[in-house]
């Protein structure tokens, strides 16, 4: 009796493989699927609740909101915005409140919890479009615009269009450019104050109902009130990477003392934010890709969001650009059925100049916020009187 050979497993093929289940990857999938195209999102997390998303996002009318309209999700977005979230306060390091704006409900940059926005995007997709536990370890071209993608579990798949929406340390980017992120010289130490009005009333009064900046001497506190009543705060400072590597930030009390020393000459009510910090501290090094990064057209692959144009957060545009990228790429692909290269060329012709302009603005904002007289210069920017040469 002869045995029948076991057939070799067939390598799965996906017409459009989107690597990364963040805002840009999910919105691209939504636009394509809504338009009748096929798209699959691969994410390294075990599921949508694997980690908290954290932070508030101000979604701009001309970029992020326009993208949500393209995806048919603007009404759902508006239902989840944070009332009062567009309020702003600016302090100097001496403790003077130098600027305050109320949220009158007429602004064009409403705030939404990042987790709420991601949940909205996830809910707009069929479960079949999502592949969790799919950590990409590499990809290689097969010719004619096709790529083979390798996963951490040892499996592979092929795709006709590979989209890197996988963030700062993208595994897809090396197919297009050797460029990688560089440290900007600024780091955040992130912490939270929970149930602020009841448990931390003094800090709640300092931060107010929306966004708060306290700036001076190459340092600052950047904070916002979240929808659950907590305060999410970043202590920002210029620091070499060696300084960060020399400290154990998992030791909360040691970190608190380290930061209190770093902010020793700040007003007591601003330093008090550190005294009240809960749940420890998390260091965040701020990296950026080279401003104006481009690449030659490579068949069958492109990038979105931070994978394409990682920049410091000081222009407030990162999430908005990611959403705009996704809407533009999805629209281009739907407008060029059967001609992926024409779609990618059209998309990148918009992506490159927009990202270059915003990256330059982000770098200039970093210099402003951590340079001379930053509180006054930020107020001038808010009031439309800012002169970069001042």
Residue numbers in the chain where pLDDT is lower than 70: 1-9, 50-54, 84, 104-108, 386-390
pLDDT single digits (tens) 170-209: 999 999 999 999 999 999 999 999 999 999 999 999 999 8
Q: What is the pLDDT of residue 386?
A: 63
CB count in 10 Å sphere of residue 207: 24
pTM of the model: 0.92
Q: What is the pLDDT of residue 314?
A: 87
Give the closest residue to 159 by CA, choosing from 28, 42, 332, 322. 42
Q: How far apart are CA 135 and CA 178, in angstroms?
A: 21
Q: What is the pLDDT of residue 83?
A: 74
Q: What is the pLDDT of residue 304?
A: 97
Residue located via tokens 């999410």: 232
CB count in 10 Å sphere of residue 162: 26
Q: What is the pLDDT of residue 60?
A: 92
Cα 23 from chain centroid (whole Å): 8
- Label residue 139 exposed, middle or buried (CB < 10 Å: 0-12, 13-18, 19+): buried
pLDDT single digits (tens) 330-342: 999 999 999 999 9
Q: How far apart are CA 82 and CA 158, in angstroms?
A: 41
């Amino acid at each position: 009796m002869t045995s029948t050979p076991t057939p070799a497993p067939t390598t799965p093929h996906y017409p459009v493989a989107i690597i990364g289940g963040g805002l840009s990857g999910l919105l691209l999938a939504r636009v394509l699927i809504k338009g009748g195209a096929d798209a699959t999102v691969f994410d390294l997390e075990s599921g949508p609740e694997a980690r908290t998303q954290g932070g508030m996002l101000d979604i701009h009318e001309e970029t992020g909101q326009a993208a949500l309209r393209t995806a048919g999700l603007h009404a759902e977005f508006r239902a989840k915005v944070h009332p009062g979230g567009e309020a702003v306060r600016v302090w100097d390091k001496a403790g003077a409140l130098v600027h305050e704006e109320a949220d009158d409900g007429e602004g064009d940059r409403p705030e939404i919890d990042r987790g709420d926005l991601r949940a909205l995007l996830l809910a707009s997709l069929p479960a079949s479009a999502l592949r969790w536990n799919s950590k990409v370890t590499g990809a290689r071209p097969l010719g004619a615009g096709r790529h083979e993608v390798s996963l951490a579990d040892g499996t592979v798949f092929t795709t006709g269009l590979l989209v890197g929406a996988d963030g700062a340390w993208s595994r897809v980017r090396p197919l297009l450019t050797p460029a990688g992120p560089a440290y900007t010289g600024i780091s955040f130490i992130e912490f939270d104050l929970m149930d602020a009005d009841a448990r931390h009333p003094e800090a709640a009064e300092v931060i107010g109902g929306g966004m708060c900046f306290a700036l001076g001497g190459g340092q600052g506190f950047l904070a916002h009130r979240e929808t659950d009543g907590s305060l999410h705060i970043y202590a920002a400072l210029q620091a070499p990477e060696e300084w960060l590597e020399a400290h154990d930030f998992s030791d909360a009390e040691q970190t608190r003392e380290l930061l209190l020393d770093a902010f020793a000459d700040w007003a007591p009510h601003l330093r008090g934010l550190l005294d009240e910090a809960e749940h420890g501290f998390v260091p965040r090094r701020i990296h950026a890709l080279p401003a104006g990064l481009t690449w030659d057209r490579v068949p069958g692959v492109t990038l979105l969001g931070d994978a394409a144009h990682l920049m410091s957060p000081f222009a407030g545009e990162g999430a908005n650009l990611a959403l705009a990228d996704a809407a533009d790429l999805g629209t281009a692909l739907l407008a060029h059925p059967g001609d992926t290269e024409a779609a990618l060329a059209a998309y990148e012709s918009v992506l490159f100049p927009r990202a270059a302009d915003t990256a330059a603005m982000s770098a200039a904002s970093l210099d402003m916020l951590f340079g001379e007289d930053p509180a006054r210069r930020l107020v001038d920017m808010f009031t439309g009187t800012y002169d970069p040469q001042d």
